[in-house]
Amino acid sequence: MLNKVVNEKQPARSAVAGKSVVMLEEHIVEVVSDSGEGAQKCGQSFGSIAARTGNGIWTVEIIPAEIQPPARSMAGASGNRVRLASQAVSNVGDEADLVVAFNEQVLLGRLWANELKPGCIILLESKWATDQDREIATSYARAYAKLVDEGYRVYEVPMEAECLKLVADARRGKNMFVLGLLCNMYSFDLQMGREQVAFVFANKDASVIDANVRLLEAGYAWAEANLDLKFRIPASKAREPQIVVNGNIALGLGVLASGMEICAMYPITPATSASHYLSDVFEQVGGLVHQAEDEIAACSFAIGASYAGKCAVTITSGPGYSLKQEAIGLAVMAEIPLVVVNVQRGGPCTGQPTKAEQGDLLSACFGSHGDAPKVVMAAATIEDCFYSMITARRIAELFNMVVIVLTDANLATAQQPFLRPRFDEAWLAPPTDQGAVPEGVKPYDWDARTGLARRFIPGQPSGMHCLTGLAHDRNSHVAYDPQSNEDGIRHRSLKLAALQKTLKTPSVYGDEEGELLVVGWGSTKGAIEEAVDRVRADRKKVSSLHMRFLQPMPSGVKQVLQGFDKVMTVENSWSDSLDDEIIDEDNRRFSNLAWLLRARYLIDIDCWSEVMGQPTKPGTIARIIREKLQ
Amino acid sequence: MAAPVSVCLLRLEDEHYALGDYQRGISRWCTGCGDNAILTAVQRLCRDDQLAPEKTVFVSGIGCSSRFPHYMNVYGFHGVHGRALPVAEGIKMTRPDLNVFVSTGDGDCCSIGTAHWIHAIRYNMDMTVVLHDNQVYGLTKMQVSPTSPHGLKTKTTPRGAYLQPLNPLTVTLGISNVSFVAQTVDWIPELLHETISLAFRHKGFSFVRVLQRCPEYLPGAFDPWVKDPGRTLLLVHKDGIEPSAGLSKTYRNQEEHDPLNLDRAREIASITDPIPVGVLYWKRDVPRYEDIRDTTRLYTADTIKAALEKEFDKFTIGPAD
């Protein structure tokens, strides 16, 4: 729907004679620059154009930890990775096939992080070669020689010099020049590029759009005239409309669609962009983003809002999640519906704010002191981020429970097209009940079988009672007697079982029996399934299972696990390695899901995990699976 | 955040609430505890103003004073330590039709919940907040509180409190958007009732500090003031407390104080002996957060669908391209 009006212009001159087009199944492209040079915008735009062309895509941001890291530093690489393919892709893939770098240092940063395929194509800004600072010129020359020596196909591109022909400040225009280069190299329609530029700068003056379109065209023409690289990845247009958003925007859309009206939050990376998006659009549906004075207040505000009538959501990341624990316990104890989203990042403590990890599963399940049963779900895809909000709101209100939804930094910033949702009124909450509470009904009239009780909402005549975080009886009276305490805990616990009875067994990816089952949760789904595909192609008997409900776990999982000789989890949370000298079966710590599965199913489940802060590659998982099968 | 439809419905028969309609159970506070006096004053206010019990919510944190909602036959929310204010804000934002009260103590408000207190003043949401300030931790059995007098011996300060006390009045009056600040004492029931009633009538964040006696841990602490009415400074004004003849007869140490005079209010707030009582500050037109953030349109499934489709359009690719 990018129908912004752009002056129709003649495409750059036609292809150079003799340039052959290389057909590809897929390619992984990275654009990296110093922070603030626009490589992220370039990469995202390239991904959008590829998606609109009909390619499968997965894009992920490359984010430095600091807002303005020093220029030309290895740790400062900022940009975007785009995996584009002829078919749908479910993850970020392995190493990059082609990298566009705005300086050699950020490129070396990616090399050092093992993100480049050996011998891959590199397009490098060449202006540093003649930099007046001799140290810079020397550093560039040394890096160039090293890369060529190691077999990389390095193309020097005078990005800045070319841009300066059109604009005064090339630092702010290079990214669209590079977008033009990429559009040409991957045989994309230049007009689509122009529309994308208009979309990106929709809030700016026409002159800004115009200048950037000219930069795009210049990049396109330069590649046509100077590069012998021309690829085409066959595309097939989707039959149904798709939407392309990252996981955090999908969360925001999900909140809109769920009928929730209040999101109380406190700024924290990488969760905040979900609230940014909501702040922009939530009021259209009568919603409100409340930036509270701290994480505890955000959670308490959401609890107050839920108590007063409509389930609210609070969105946070690791440290904020830790701070909310006491308040979450209050919602559990008083049976107030609440949705808490934890966009996981590296931990503990401040950890790695911009990097992905799956280390919060156990604290999601068992956090808050005492027995505090809550529902824990994990989104596995961008699409899940959307629907999980609707599901979470419904469960929270049906069961008067806290529902924790886990995503992570990988989903938060990644984009993957998914089917445009069709609105359903059933997504929304019913109106706030203000009818009188029937005679004799108690505030906690727990059903003996399910633990469920009617929810009382202020304003309901005859429902007056004092809710309390203290142990209480059915009348909500503070009760310290042994039986009342047991009663309350039993009924709050039973609700998880009642929900569990409604859950479907997750389906196995691959055969239902075999040598090895890989179990995962969260954002690793795509990578695990791709790895399974690769190993199955060698006729190995491996399958995978992905868990969306972590607490409670659906029925039938044990039977699935029993269908395989070996079971292992693949996760991004720490697990000890038996290769370490003092680690043995008596002291080994397992990754999060492995602990849960071992405890519940009494099966000797192994695990493999890494906490590198970046999405685990399908190639890595395939190697682990092969090792396990030996 | 449209209020429920039933708000608009007329009641077909008159209801009259008596004092007893607001009472629940028998308080478990110690004999002579100032909380009892506040409870009586508040129940009188509810009766006088005929607050519908189902439309009234008392929110509290943890501490002796936070037991308050248990003794009110309205909706009560007895939450966790220090967090009553953000809970109350969430309630008010969702349901502007409810009367929201907060009962908090000197530990709850001025120690563990300080961040919320400061920001609650700034939000200026319509709620009546009563700070039960007995200058000591009672529920946990006598530890020093932020408002304890310097030198007070408690179980955590056996050689006397190390620091000068925090003054809740000067702090409150120092925050932007402050709109109503009053002080009263538990031993003058008429004044207590009058002050809390004025606070309730203010449409905004009304902050009432009640100096109250703790017979268990600080017996006699306020005796010099209780026994000598001259050590009470009664603030009087036509826009504040207009004392009865009886009150004026006993409390002759009076000052005519215009509640709009913020500078003088801050000076008065700093006075600890005599104890100033009455309305220190009252500004009626300070914007309320719930109004600033209000979205008054009525939202239906259709409006949500329309907004959602508009958002989807922004991000859609596919056959339409």
The tokens describing A504, both together, are 């479907």
Taking an 8 Å cut-off on Cβ atoms, the answer to whether A458 and B57 are in contact is yes
pLDDT at residue B320 in the model: 47
The span from the CA of A529 to the CA of B242, in Å, is 77
Question: Chain B closest CA to A123's CA: distance in Å?
Answer: 29
CA A275-A279-A282 angle, 5° bins: 105
pLDDT at residue A174 in the model: 94
Question: Do the Cβ atoms of A32 and A41 come closer than 8 Å?
Answer: no
Taking an 8 Å cut-off on Cβ atoms, the answer to whether B86 and A292 are in contact is yes
The span from the CA of A26 to the CA of B310, in Å, is 32
Which residue in chain A has the smallest CA separation from B9? Answer: A434
Taking an 8 Å cut-off on Cβ atoms, the answer to whether A304 and B295 are in contact is no
Taking an 8 Å cut-off on Cβ atoms, the answer to whether A259 and B304 are in contact is yes
Query: What type of residue is A320?
Result: G
Query: What is the value of ipTM here, to two decimals?
Result: 0.96
The dihedral region occupied by A468, where left means phi > 0, alpha psi between -120 and 50, and beta the remainder, is beta
Residues ≥6 apart with Cβ < 8 Å to A166: A173, A211, A214, A215, A218
Question: Do the Cβ atoms of B90 and A262 come closer than 8 Å?
Answer: yes
pLDDT band at A69, cuts 50/70/90? confident
Question: Do the Cβ atoms of A232 and A84 come closer than 8 Å?
Answer: no
**Residue A369 contacts B where some CB pair is shorter than 8 Å:** no
Question: Chain B closest CA to A159's CA: distance in Å?
Answer: 30
Nearest beta carbon to residue B307 from set A285, A308, A432: A285
Domain limits of chain A? 22-232, 247-427, 433-501, 508-629
Q: Rounded to an integer, what is the distance from CA A428 to the centroid of its chain?
A: 24
Could you say which residues of chain B have pLDDT below 50? 1-3, 5, 8, 320-321
From the candidates A189, A192, A296, A300, which should be mutated to test the interface with B, based on the most B CB atoms within 10 A?
A: A300
Distance set, CA A615 to CA A67, A317, A334, A411, A434 (Å): 22, 17, 38, 9, 48
Which residues are A11's β-sheet partners?
A: none
Mean of the per-residue pLDDT values for chain A?
94
Domain A508-629: state its class: alpha beta
How many Å is the maximal CA-CA distance in chain B? 86
pLDDT at residue B319 in the model: 61
pLDDT band at A596, cuts 50/70/90? very high
**In order of start, what are the domains of chain B with their CATH numbers?**
16-315 (3.40.50.970)
How large is the average pLDDT for residues A295-322?
97
Query: What type of residue is A198?
Result: A
pLDDT at residue A6 in the model: 39
pLDDT at residue A172 in the model: 82
Distance set, CA A602 to CA A62, A494, A506, A574, A577 (Å): 40, 22, 19, 21, 21
How large is the average pLDDT for residues A509-537?
98
Distance set, CA A571 to CA A348, A416, A498, A574, A621 (Å): 16, 21, 28, 8, 10
Give pLDDT tens digits for A76-108.
Answer: 999 999 999 999 999 999 999 999 999 999 999
Taking an 8 Å cut-off on Cβ atoms, the answer to whether A253 and B57 are in contact is no
From the candidates B64, B102, B310, B314, which should be mutated to test the interface with A, based on the most A CB atoms within 10 A?
A: B314
Question: Chain A closest CA to B212's CA: distance in Å?
Answer: 24
Closest alpha carbon to A40 in A58, A64, A59, A61: A61
The tokens describing B195, both together, are 């002050």
The tokens describing B87, both together, are 């809970």
CB atoms within 10 A of CB A75: 14
Give pLDDT tens digits for A236-260.
Answer: 877 889 999 999 999 999 999 999 9
How large is the average pLDDT for residues A185-191?
96
Range of lowest pLDDT (A9-13, A188-192, A558-562, B117-121): A9-13
DSSP 8-state code for residue B291: H
Nearest beta carbon to residue B320 from set A241, A294, A468: A241
Which residue in chain B has the smallest CA separation from A478? Answer: B70
The span from the CA of B223 to the CA of B229, in Å, is 11
Contact residues on chain B for A462, CB-CB shorter than 8 A? 54
pLDDT band at A210, cuts 50/70/90? very high
Question: Do the Cβ atoms of A40 and A61 come closer than 8 Å?
Answer: yes
The span from the CA of B94 to the CA of A458, in Å, is 11
pLDDT at residue B14 in the model: 66
pLDDT at residue A184 in the model: 97
Contact residues on chain A for B6, CB-CB shorter than 8 A? 434-435, 459
Which residue in chain A has the smallest CA separation from B70? Answer: A466
Q: What is the CATH number of domain A22-232?
A: 3.40.920.10
Contact residues on chain A for B297, CB-CB shorter than 8 A? 286
The tokens describing A293, both together, are 């004075």
**Residue A191 contacts B where some CB pair is shorter than 8 Å:** no
Nearest beta carbon to residue A305 from set B57, B94, B97: B94
Contact residues on chain A for B321, CB-CB shorter than 8 A? 1-2, 52
From the candidates B46, B94, B101, B177, which should be mutated to test the interface with A, based on the most A CB atoms within 10 A?
A: B94
How many Å is the maximal CA-CA distance in chain A? 89
**Residue A425 contacts B where some CB pair is shorter than 8 Å:** yes
The span from the CA of A517 to the CA of A558, in Å, is 12
Helix, strand, coil shares, percent, chain B, to 5: 40, 20, 45
Question: Do the Cβ atoms of A24 and A233 come closer than 8 Å?
Answer: yes
Chain A, window 462-491: residues with a beta carbon less than 8 angstroms from a chain B beta carbon: 462-470, 478
The tokens describing B196, both together, are 């809390």
Angle between the A382-399 and A482-500 helix axes, to the nearest 10 degrees? Answer: 140
Which residue in chain B has the smallest CA separation from A287? Answer: B1
This prediction's pTM:
0.94
The span from the CA of A604 to the CA of A337, in Å, is 36
Assess whether the previous peptide bond of A270 is cis (omega < 30° from 0).
yes
The span from the CA of A365 to the CA of A547, in Å, is 14
Taking an 8 Å cut-off on Cβ atoms, the answer to whether A261 and B1 are in contact is yes
Give pLDDT tens digits for A398-420.
Answer: 999 999 999 999 999 999 999 99
Contact residues on chain A for B59, CB-CB shorter than 8 A? 304
**Residue A280 contacts B where some CB pair is shorter than 8 Å:** no
Taking an 8 Å cut-off on Cβ atoms, the answer to whether B1 and A262 are in contact is yes
The span from the CA of A353 to the CA of A347, in Å, is 8
**Residue A434 contacts B where some CB pair is shorter than 8 Å:** yes
Give pLDDT tens digits for B187-241.
Answer: 999 999 999 999 999 999 999 999 999 999 999 999 999 999 999 999 999 999 9
Question: Chain A closest CA to B277's CA: distance in Å?
Answer: 31
pLDDT at residue A2 in the model: 38
Q: Could you tell me how many CB contacts below 8 A there are between chain A and chain B?
A: 221
The tokens describing A72, both together, are 């030309």
Contact residues on chain B for A253, CB-CB shorter than 8 A? 308, 311-312
What is the fold, at CATH topology level, of the domain defined by A247-427?
Rossmann fold (3.40.50)
Contact residues on chain A for B91, CB-CB shorter than 8 A? 304-305, 307-308, 458
Which residue in chain A has the smallest CA separation from B95? Answer: A308
Confirm whether A22-232 and A247-427 share one CATH topology.
no
Question: Do the Cβ atoms of A116 and A95 come closer than 8 Å?
Answer: yes
The span from the CA of A216 to the CA of A222, in Å, is 10
Chain A, window 531-570: residues with a beta carbon less than 8 angstroms from a chain B beta carbon: none
- What own/partner pairs with CB < 8 Å and gap ≥ 24 does A561-564 have? A561/A517, A561/A519, A561/A597, A561/A601, A561/A603, A561/A605, A562/A603, A563/A508, A563/A512, A563/A513, A563/A514, A563/A517, A564/A513, A564/A514, A564/A515, A564/A516, A564/A517
Taking an 8 Å cut-off on Cβ atoms, the answer to whether A48 and B53 are in contact is no
The span from the CA of A245 to the CA of B317, in Å, is 11
pLDDT at A348 over 50: yes
Q: Cα torsion for A514, A520, A526, A527, to the nearest 10°?
A: -80
